[in-house]
Chains A and B, each alone.
Chain A
Amino acid sequence: MKFFEAIGRTVIRILEEFGHVFQMMGRVAGWTFRPPYDVPEFFRQMVRVGVDSVPVVFLTTLFTGMVMALQTVNGFARFHAESLVGSVVALSLTRELSPVLCALMVTGRVGSSMAAELGSMRVTEQIDALTALGTEPVQYLMVPRIAASIVMMPLLVIMGDAVGIWGGYLVAVKLLGVNPVRYIENSFQFLHVGDDVVSGMIKAAVFGLIFSLIACVRGYYTTGGAEGVGRSTTRAVVSGSLSVLFADFFLTKLLF
């Protein structure tokens, strides 16, 4: 009995969370295009989501590109297809790895801090104070964060694409002795900017929406003091990352 009760409770909690997220998406959409527009706050959040994430994204995609090259050069050598390494690295990075890994890293970095920030504002009644002053917290707190995430994620991913491809080149050419001209030629031979790069950016924008929305909702509905803030932060990262991976599957199915 206990077991089924636990399962039931978990299911209810997940459904409830879904409900909150979708309801909040509607509210955020409604408040986004209403004045007053807090442009300075929007820029502050763009810096926080985008600029401040550059080092993390740089390292993540650099090493991913490098390890991709390492693996494929070794693997493809078995059937004499080393010449295709550049394409494989470029395609898998732009279509899949760069968006997903960026999203996961930024969820951990920025999503957690958004949830913690809104959560502690909730438990110290700062959100109540905003409301009491006639300021809609959804508009004042969530809209700039979510909008900034949607805008900055694709830009981070573009940078990630370039860094990853460069990392792959470094390993393949400098370390494993693949012909540089062949490698570069091959890298861009099958890469369609319109399909591959743009679809990666679309994914990234959706991931930006997902992780920031979940982080804001988790923070907004925080209860129970400092411990509650910790719980919200963890859940923002866990459900944010999982949702990104789920969404990735369906988006890939849809976009390609």
Chain B
Amino acid sequence: MEARRDPASEAGAAPKLRAEDLHKSFDGRVVLDGLSFSVADGESLVIVGPSGTGKSVLLKHMIGLLKPDSGKVFVEGQDVWAISERQRNELRKEFGMSFQEGALFDSMNVYDNVAFPLRRSGRPTREIRDRVRECLDIVHLPNVEQKRPSELSGGMRRRVGFARAIAHEPDILLFDEPNTGLDPIMTDVIDEVILNMREKLDATIVTITHHMPSARKIGDRIALLYGGKIIFQAPPDEFLESKDPAVRQFVDGSAEGPLTPEGQVVGKTRPSEEP
């Protein structure tokens, strides 16, 4: 056994989010395979990687929606699975998360969806109403308050999900492909909002995206997830210019290269210090 680190003793310098040696399989299929990473307070991390490598699974681990088979997740130095269910729920209120498919509550209209996190924090009605309007304006959806999620298009649903995630101005934001399937203008709008959140709220942000220009724009750092691990991470410019064959293949969008659909890395990838 390696020495167990005491989360409390490093709370001072603790990164906002940290994962340590995460392993997760579903029915014998390994998805996360000894993954470790951390996100500093106020940092914006972008995670990229081929479809089906486990980006969404990783994000769900960060907020305690999935429990790792082994390994640990720390939020603000607190081991997410060492605290009680109730404390975990409290901890989650510091998060805002948007889901890949929106995950809107379909028994409620758009207004109630966005108001949901605000109501739970017990704010006065007037303040809630103003904030909901504001959030829906931010994502350019002014006239849908009374609509049901089933009456919206896929892209609209995703934006409402985004509005719901930022409504209560949380400390930590997790976005699962916030701009996939949006038109170029909307994509940029979302990018701007993410940048804005970081500046205004000093939020710590983890974004999954397939869109490299967005990744470059909003990320302080880009990490490539593949084969259950983060195989390369660097600041955007460095990442995009990296000579690492796996990164090159991904950035250039080529079918030929070390990244295969089966999820195994063919050949060696270089260590992530110097490209």
Give residues 59-118 of B contacting A (CB, 8 Å): 60, 63-65, 85-86, 89-93, 95, 97, 99, 101, 103-106, 116-117
**B105–A126 touching, CB < 8 Å:** yes
- What are 8 A-B pairs with beta-carbon distances under 8 A? A124-B106, A129-B104, A131-B64, A131-B89, A133-B120, A134-B91, A135-B116, A136-B86
Which residues of B does A touch, CB under 8 Å? 60, 63-65, 85-86, 89-93, 95, 97, 99, 101, 103-106, 116-117, 120, 164
Does the CB pair B103–A134 fall under 8 Å? no
Question: Which chain A residues lie closer than 8 Å to B104 at the CB level?
Answer: 126, 129
Q: Is the CB of B117 within 8 A of A125?
A: no
Chain A residues near B106: list those with CB within 8 A. 124, 126
CB pair A136–B99 under 8 Å, yes or no, is no
- A121 to B: closest C-beta gap in Å: 8
A90 to chain B minimum Cβ distance, whole angstroms, is: 42
Distance, CA A129 to CA B174, complexed state (A): 12
Please give me the 7 A-B residue pairs with the lowest Cβ-Cβ distance, nearest first. A134-B93, A125-B103, A129-B103, A134-B92, A132-B97, A134-B89, A133-B117
CB distance from A6 to the nearest CB of B (A): 19
In the complex, what residue of chain B is closest to A117 when comparing beta carbons? B107
List A contacts of B99 (CB < 8 A).
125, 128-129, 132
A114-141 contact mask (Cβ, 8 Å, vs B): 1 or 0: 0000000100111011111111100000
B100 to chain A: closest residue by CB: A125
Indicate whether A133 sits within 8 Å of B116 (C-beta atoms), given known contacts A128-B60, A128-B65: yes
Interface range, A side: 10 to 19
Given contacts A124-B106, A126-B103, A126-B104, A131 and B90 within 8 Å (CB-CB): no
Is A132 in contact with B120, judged by CB distance below 8 angstroms?
no
* Contact A134/B120 with A125-B103, A129-B105 known, Cβ cut-off 8 Å: yes
CB-based contact A125/B89 at 8 Å: no
Cβ A133 vs Cβ B92 within 8 A? yes
Judge whether A131 and B103 touch: CB under 8 Å.
no
Who on chain A is nearest to B117 by CB? A133
Cα-based distance from A133 to B131 in the complex (angstroms): 17
Indicate with 1 or 0, residue by residue over A36-62, a CB within 8 angstroms of chain B CB atoms: 100000000000000000000000000
Closest approach, in angstroms, between the C-beta of A220 and any C-beta of chain B?
Answer: 14
Inter-chain contacts of B65 with A (CB < 8 A): 128, 131-132
How far is it, in angstroms, between the C-alpha of A129 and the C-alpha of B60 when the chains are bound?
10
A133-B116, A133-B117, A135-B120 are contacts. A124–B92 as well, Cβ < 8 Å?
no
What residue in chain B is nearest A128 (Cβ atoms)? B65
Q: Judge whether B101 and A132 touch: CB under 8 Å.
A: no
Further pairs besides A129-B105, A134-B89: 11, Cβ < 8 Å: A125-B99, A125-B101, A126-B106, A128-B60, A129-B97, A129-B103, A132-B92, A132-B97, A134-B90, A134-B91, A135-B116
| Distance to closest chain B CB from A198 (angstroms) | 36
Q: How far is the CA of A131 from the CA of B86 in the complex (A)?
A: 11
Asked if residues B95 and A124 are in contact (CB atoms below 8 Å), the reply is no
Q: Is the CB of B90 within 8 A of A136?
A: no
Shortest Cβ distance from B60 into A: residue: A128
Chain B residues, CB < 8 A from A132:
63, 65, 92, 95, 97, 99
Q: Least Cβ distance of B163 to chain A in Å?
A: 13
Q: Which residues of B contact A125 (CB under 8 A)?
A: 99, 101, 103
